[in-house]
């Protein structure tokens, strides 16, 4: 998987202005229901990204503490080898253009401290964002961008306030069938089950607490077993950037699961 790491914000500036040269013919990038623009907390960054499907990311612009990097299927398609110089990559919105990757002489200093501020400003009142990679262009609808922008700003604010430290990040849960079978035995399928997991430095759950009390300890153990065995996380990160132990709390709605309408309701991501 390729990624392109930029320099630090204070080293790179931005080139913002009217498009120069021939206008590229843009290919529209579509998204399934439940996908599109979103902000995601990654292990080392906050990511503003466009997803084709809930699992497939076309383009991801990640904001680290003092730098940014590019990821996603469109970046992977470049198939860059070690040592290869990446092509010029820019975002165009309306008459504005934000240069993300290019030779040092292509960058011009502006009043913007990072590309995110420029993109947020240019996106106001616009309908389309175009990602230019070398001689190709990919067009994204800006529907849902404003909500993702607010989530992204909140994510970055928290990361900076904690100097990059964060709690565990939920990755996946493949044990819902096993958990639902036990919940059915306990007649819980019309209810919600709150829980808190302790997540070790390797991302593995080690302890489980439920928000409701059961008469038999065996019931708690049976309900916790799928959570401990099948939930996967990125571990918490301390201020030194190292994995550490953390806690993750959430609520599972069994009624929503039976309707196949999303059942995991996180209280902290």
pLDDT in tens, 140-178: 999 999 999 999 999 988 888 777 788 898 888 888 889
Separation CA 185–CA 89 (nearest Å): 55
- Name the DSSP letter for residue 43: S
Of 29, 268, 15, the closest CA to residue 155 belongs to 268
Based on the fold, state whether residues 110 and 54 are members of the same structural domain: yes
**pLDDT value at position 7?**
43
**pLDDT value at position 266?**
46
179 neighbors 252 (Cβ within 8 angstroms)? yes
- Residues of the domain holding 211: 169-266
Q: What sign has the CA pseudo-torsion 157, 141, 171, 261?
A: positive
Based on the fold, state whether residues 157 and 176 are members of the same structural domain: no
**pLDDT value at position 260?**
56
The list of the chain residues with pLDDT below 70 reads: 1-25, 103-113, 255-269
> pTM for this structure?
0.59
Q: How many domains does the chain have?
A: 2
**pLDDT value at position 20?**
39
Based on the fold, state whether residues 79 and 47 are members of the same structural domain: yes
Burial per residue of 80-107, b for 16 or more beta-carbon CB atoms within 10 angstroms, e otherwise = eeeeeebebbbbbbeebbbbbbbeeeeb
Beta strand 26-28 with 96-101 is: unpaired
Last residue of a domain, one of 105, 139, 161: 161
Rg (C-alpha) for the chain, rounded Å, is: 22
Separation CA 89–CA 147 (nearest Å): 25
Last residue of a domain, one of 96, 130, 161: 161
Read off the pLDDT of residues 196-220 as tens digits, 9 standing for 90 and up: 999 999 999 999 999 888 888 999 9
Length of the chain: 269
């Amino acid at each position: 998987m390729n990624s392109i790491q930029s320099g630090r914000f204070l080293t790179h500036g931005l080139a913002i202005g009217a498009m120069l040269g021939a206008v590229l013919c843009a290919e529209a990038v579509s998204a399934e229901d439940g996908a599109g623009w979103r902000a995601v907390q990654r292990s080392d960054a906050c990511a503003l990204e466009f997803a084709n499907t809930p699992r497939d990311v076309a383009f991801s612009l990640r904001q680290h503490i003092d730098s940014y990097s590019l990821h996603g299927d469109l970046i992977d398609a470049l198939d860059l080898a070690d040592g290869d110089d990446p092509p010029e990559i820019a975002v165009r919105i309306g008459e504005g253009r934000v240069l993300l990757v290019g030779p040092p002489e292509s960058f011009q200093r502006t009043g913007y401290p990072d590309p995110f501020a420029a993109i947020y400003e240019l996106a106001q009142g616009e309908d389309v964002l175009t990602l230019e990679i070398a001689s190709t262009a990919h067009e994204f609808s800006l529907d849902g961008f404003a909500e993702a922008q607010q989530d992204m700003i909140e994510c970055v604010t928290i990361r900076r306030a904690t100097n990059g430290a964060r709690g565990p990040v939920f990755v996946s849960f493949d044990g819902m069938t096993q958990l639902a079978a036990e919940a059915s035995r306990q007649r819980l399928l019309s209810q919600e089950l709150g829980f808190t997991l302790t997540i070790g430095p390797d991302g593995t759950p080690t302890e489980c607490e439920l928000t409701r009390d059961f008469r038999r300890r065996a019931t708690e153990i049976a309900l916790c077993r799928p959570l401990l065995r099948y939930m996967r996380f990125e571990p918490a990160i301390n201020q030194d950037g190292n994995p550490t132990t953390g806690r993750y709390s959430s609520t599972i709605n069994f009624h929503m699961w039976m309707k196949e309408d999303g059942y995991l309701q996180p209280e902290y991501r």
